[in-house]
Chains A and B, each alone.
Chain A
Amino acid sequence: MKLKEVPQDGKRMLKTTLVHYAENDEGKFEKVQSDGWDPGYYAGLNLQKEFTELAEEAKIKVKNGQSSTLEYFMYKAFLDPIGLAQFTGMPWRKVKKHLTPRGFEKLDDKTLARYAHVLHTDVETIKKFKSTL
């Protein structure tokens, strides 16, 4: 990559400029500030969109009583069921149970607090969520 070829498309996910290593005319490498690259920016944006859509779908499911509230908060925190099991440190078998409406109703506060910590919310918000819909 030459100095002039460093992408400066103006859109980026991070709230900072990124550094790229580019060759100058003498063949030496310099640090150059890049202002974002379009394919990379849209890749990040699409990932965000995908999880937002999944969360919206889960919201409707929760309203109809087909799914547990945890599913909505899980997608909101950019996790999938396997990720949720890994990041809470709970067995996959239990997480799968808690993601069903019946399993969620039986959850005690202690387990719920463990979920809330990973999902960036608190126990009260998770408990009250269904009644606010």
Chain B
Amino acid sequence: MKKAIAQKPYKHYQGGHCESGSVSSIVTNYGFNLSEPMAFGISSNIGFVYLPFVKIWGRPLLAWRMLPQSIVRGVQKRLGIKFCIKTYNNEQEAMDELDRLLDEGKPVGIQASVAYLRYFLGDFRIPNNSHMTIVTGREGDEYLINDPLWDHQTRVHREDLQNARFSKGPTAPKGFMFYPLEFPETVDYKKAVKKSIKRVLFMMLQPMFPYYGVLGMKTFARMVKRLRKNPDIKAVRGLFYHIVLFQEEVGTGGGGFRYMYAAFLREAYDLLKIPELLEASKKFVAIGDKWRLAASSCGKFIQGKTDDVDLEKTAQLYRECAMEEKEAYLLLKKIKWK
């Protein structure tokens, strides 16, 4: 194991997704080369959840990945990078610890609520707790933030940062903080990739719970198809922009993380030279395009230009997503790891 030493000045990396972006950015700055797709894929974060009984703004919960904080823990487990991961009960203690680390010159990754980060959406203060970002320094009462979604460095006031770190509600951050401590000398990528892919296969091809994985996608497609009988156009439109928002806009890197996973498979192929990985990578690009097509097939309806929409076609597209993804996973299952 070698010790992680923070490099100065902090080099900013922009990423497609907040958590994988911040993990790869902070780890690279401490001196271990880790790309964003690799961080995302190695922690087997791809997934699909559709929970109609958990409501956000009265609409079902939809996610194309696992829970927040799982990438940090996943990278720690699979690659053997030792992180310092902490949560706090006391707000003052957490801020003092952050100040101490920043004064030592160590950048720190934190979980924060979007609503209190003023630079994020301006007046559109969505209450969402699961944003990950990096604090790299402080000047007086202001903290320097290298947000992985942003193309430049931003600033946040101390009071706002404290509120953001201790927001209540679902997936509450509780002052969650992480930074790398030690790196391994060598990494057995074959073992790590094998384990991560097997985990994805186990989760996505599970035959029991109808709201997760490929089965979940089918349930979701059925729900979309049933909407054509719904006479309330406004509610249907609301549901659709909810879907598009969570699939494409909320820092997914496009196509519900499928492009990012394709990039991971391609990187794994470059390392391990297993032909199935290349083939699967190409399939995942096609799947990402299909998710995108399904989302844009009701684009004009979302904009409010027309009231008639071909929901049968959209539902069919979502169903095809499920079928194609199942094929891709079955392809990955055929790989002979020795």
Does B15 belong to the interface (CB within 8 Å)?
A: yes
Does B135 belong to the interface (CB within 8 Å)?
A: no
* Contacting pair A19 B169 (CB below 8 A): no
- Select A39's contact among B58, B251, B254, B303, beta carbons within 8 Å: B303
Q: How far is the CA of A121 from the CA of B277 in the complex (A)?
A: 52
Closest-CB distance, A99 to chain B (whole angstroms): 15
* Contacting pair A20 B304 (CB below 8 A): no
How many A residues face the partner with a CB closer than 8 A?
A: 42
Chain A residues within 8 Å of B262, by CB:
21, 23, 29
Q: How far is the CA of A31 from the CA of B16 in the complex (A)?
A: 8
Knowing A13-B249, A19-B15, A21-B260 are in contact, say whether A42-B254 is a contact too (CB < 8 A).
Answer: no
Q: How far is the CA of A27 from the CA of B295 in the complex (A)?
A: 25
Does B302 belong to the interface (CB within 8 Å)?
A: yes
Q: Secondary structure at chain B's binding surface: helix, strand, loop or mixed?
A: helix
- Select A29's contact among B14, B126, B263, B298, beta carbons within 8 Å: B263
Knowing A13-B121, A16-B151, A20-B259 are in contact, say whether A1-B266 is a contact too (CB < 8 A).
Answer: no
* Contacting pair A1 B241 (CB below 8 A): no
The winner among A20, A38, A88 for most chain B CB atoms within 10 A is A20
Does B206 belong to the interface (CB within 8 Å)?
A: no
Closest-CB distance, A105 to chain B (whole angstroms): 25
Chain B residues within 8 Å of A78, by CB:
124-127
Q: Which of B283-317 contact A (CB under 8 A)?
A: 285, 288-289, 292, 295-296, 298-299, 302-304
- Select A79's contact among B121, B127, B237, beta carbons within 8 Å: B127
* Contacting pair B302 A39 (CB below 8 A): yes
Chain B residues within 8 Å of A16, by CB:
149-152
Closest-CB distance, B59 to chain A (whole angstroms): 10
* Contacting pair B16 A14 (CB below 8 A): no
Q: Which of A15-53 contact B (CB under 8 A)?
A: 15-23, 27-29, 31, 33-34, 37-40, 42-44, 46-48, 50
- Select B169's contact among A23, A29, A43, A87, beta carbons within 8 Å: A87
Chain B residue at minimum C-beta to C-beta distance from A85: B169
* Contacting pair B299 A39 (CB below 8 A): yes
Chain B residues within 8 Å of A10, by CB:
none
Chain A residues within 8 Å of B251, by CB:
18
Chain A residues within 8 Å of B248, by CB:
37, 39-40, 43
Does B109 belong to the interface (CB within 8 Å)?
A: no
Chain B residues within 8 Å of A50, by CB:
238
Interface residues of A (CB under 8 A from B): 1, 13-23, 27-29, 31, 33-34, 37-40, 42-44, 46-48, 50, 77-80, 82-83, 86-89, 117-118, 120
Interface residues of B (CB under 8 A from A): 14-16, 37, 55-58, 115, 119-122, 124-127, 149-152, 163, 167-170, 237-238, 240-242, 244-245, 248-249, 251, 253-255, 259-260, 262-263, 266-267, 278, 282, 285, 288-289, 292, 295-296, 298-299, 302-304
- 30 contacting pairs across A/B (C-beta < 8 A): A1-B259, A1-B289, A13-B249, A19-B14, A19-B253, A20-B253, A20-B259, A21-B37, A21-B262, A29-B262, A29-B266, A33-B151, A37-B249, A39-B303, A42-B302, A42-B303, A43-B240, A43-B241, A44-B241, A44-B249, A47-B245, A48-B124, A77-B125, A78-B124, A78-B127, A80-B58, A83-B56, A87-B167, A89-B168, A117-B163
